[in-house]
């Protein structure tokens, strides 16, 4: 679960950047 959440967070950050 942690990995999935972290992956989603990274994706959001990459999109924001």
DSSP states of 1-17: -HHHHHHHHHHHHHHH-
In the chain, the largest separation of any two C-alpha atoms, in whole Å, equals 24
Sequential pLDDT tens for the chain (17 residues): 678 888 898 898 888 76
- pTM summary value: 0.12
> What was the pLDDT predicted at 1?
67
Which two three-digit tokens encode residue 15? Answer: 């999109």
Give the residue carrying structure tokens 């942690």. Answer: 2
Which two three-digit tokens encode residue 5? Answer: 């959440």
């Amino acid at each position: 679960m942690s990995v999935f959440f972290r992956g989603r967070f990274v994706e959001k950050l990459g999109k924001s950047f």
